[in-house]
Amino acid sequence: MASSETNSTAASDDILDSNYDFLIKFMLLGDSGVGKTCFLHRYMEGEFRSRFTATVGVDFRLKKLEYDFPEDDGEEVKKKIHLQIWDTAGQERYRSLTKAFFRDGMGFLLLFDVGNVETFHSVRDWLSEIKEEAYCENPDIILIGNKCDLENRAVSEKQGQQLANELNVPYMETSAATGNNVTKAINTLLDMVMKRMRDYVSGMDPKTGKSGEPGNVGPETKTETQSSSSCAC
């Protein structure tokens, strides 16, 4: 499975329209200063913004993508995806506000800063909050050690990987500064969510349009067989 950008410009990317097959919502989470806003800026604009302005509340950007979606007959068809990526404030004082948005997330990018051990220690708390608030108990999550360009690390790649193994989530190291692995991390999470989506769609009865299995695909998903909410929790 592969995703590619449509020909739309960055400006038109942010315009929400109904010309899509799947609306996917990701959330960026983690302590203040881990680099969530820079990660998103790097993904959207391909640039690094070194200035630190703490995010207030929540914000989102929209990316329009085409995705090779496997059909039951083994053929792949291109599907239009509108990927909304929500950037949340890491500061504790905004927590009750940002938590209210967790339920809308279909995939979670949980970041810590490899140069700051405190942010690594917060990962378990973030994970508990995701599991409490998300649309289902077992949403798709990737653990990300950001700022892997730093020479002075406080957390090794091995420690990051060990924690991820323990938590049963994939681990990746990224750098918003150099761009290393940023797009790859988003695409990896997209593959995880789209696999869930495909399992859900292929489990649907073609006559009734209803899923035989509880799908847990997300809170607000439009597919070509189903046009409104499809949360099956």
Residues that bind ligand GTP (CB under 6 A): 32-38, 50, 52, 54-55, 89-91, 146-147, 149-150, 175-177
Q: Is 175 in the site for Mg ion (CB under 5 A)?
A: no
Closest separation between CB of residue 125 and Mg ion, Å? 18
Q: Which is nearer to ligand GTP, 43 or 200 (CB)?
A: 43
Quick one: 36 or 64, whose CB is closer to Mg ion? Answer: 36
Cα gap 203→196, rounded to integer Å: 11
DSSP 211: B
Cβ closer to Mg ion: 32 or 159? 32
Q: What DSSP letter does each residue of 29-42 carry, written as one string? A: E-STTSSHHHHHHH
- Other C-beta atoms closer than 10 Å to the C-beta of 180 total 17
- Contact between 84 and Mg ion (CB under 5 A)? no
For residues 71-109, b (16+ Cβ closer than 10 Å) or e, as one string? eeeeeeeebebbbbbbbbbbeeebeeebeebbbbbbbbb
How far apart are CB 189 and ligand GTP at their closest, in Å?
A: 17
Nearest-CA neighbor of 199 among 171, 218, 220? Answer: 218
Closest distance to Mg ion from the beta carbon of 37 (Å): 3
Smallest gap from residue 102 Cβ to ligand GTP (A): 15
Within 8-37, the residues that bind Mg ion by CB under 5 A are: 36-37
C-alpha 92, offset from chain centre: 21
Binding to Mg ion by residue 88, rule CB under 5 A? no
Query: CB under 8 Å to 111, separation ≥6 — which residues?
Result: 28, 29, 30, 34, 35, 36, 39, 119, 144, 145, 146
Least separation in angstroms between residue 9's CB and Mg ion is 24
Residue 3 interacts with which of ligand GTP, Mg ion, none, CB < 5 to 8 Å by class: none
Task: Return the H-helix or E-strand segment holding 100.
Answer: helix 95-102
Among 55, 119, 146, 174, binds Mg ion (CB under 5 A): 55
> What residues from 107 to 136 belong to the interface with Mg ion (CB under 5 A)?
none
Alpha-carbon span 77 to 79, nearest angstrom: 6
Q: What's the closest the beta carbon of residue 51 comes to Mg ion, in angstroms?
A: 11
Residue 176 interface partner, choices Mg ion, ligand GTP, none, CB cut-off 5-8 Å depending on type:
ligand GTP
> Among ligand GTP, Mg ion, none, what does residue 194 contact (CB within 5–8 Å per kind)?
none
CA 115 to the chain's CA centroid: 22
- What is the contact surface with Mg ion in residues (CB under 5 A)? 36-37, 55
